[in-house]
Amino acid sequence: MINPKMKNDAKSKQPNDFLRYTGMATKMAVVIALAVYSGIKLDKSNTVEFPIWTLVLSLVGVAAAIYFVIRDTRPQ
C-alpha cells in the first residue's frame, strides 16, 4: 500500500520546484538584460564606433547568470 503522506509530499513539492526554477529563469533574464542595457548606455555616452561595452557587459551578464544558476541548484 502507498503511504498517503508520501503521496501528499510529492504533490506539494511540485509547485515549489516550479516557482524555484521560474524564479531562476527570471533572475537570469533580468541580470542579462540589465548588463546589455548598461552596455548600450555606455556605448551611447562614448563615441566609439564598435560597441565594446555592450559586448563586454553582455558576456559578464551571461557569466553572472550562469553563476547564479549554479549557486541556486547546488545541494544544500
In this prediction, residue 1 has a pLDDT band, given cuts at 50, 70 and 90, of low
Q: What is the pLDDT of residues 21-47, one digit of tens each?
A: 899 999 999 999 999 999 999 999 988
pLDDT at 72 over 90: no
Contact (Cβ atoms closer than 8 angstroms) between residue 60 and residue 35: yes
Per-domain boundaries in the chain: 49-76
* pLDDT at residue 7, as a whole number: 59
Percent helix, percent strand, percent coil in the chain, to nearest 5: 85, 0, 15
How far apart (Å, rounded) are the C-alpha atoms in residues 45 and 8? 57
pLDDT at 3 over 60: yes
* pLDDT at residue 47, as a whole number: 82
* pLDDT at residue 65, as a whole number: 96
Q: What global pTM score does this model have?
A: 0.75
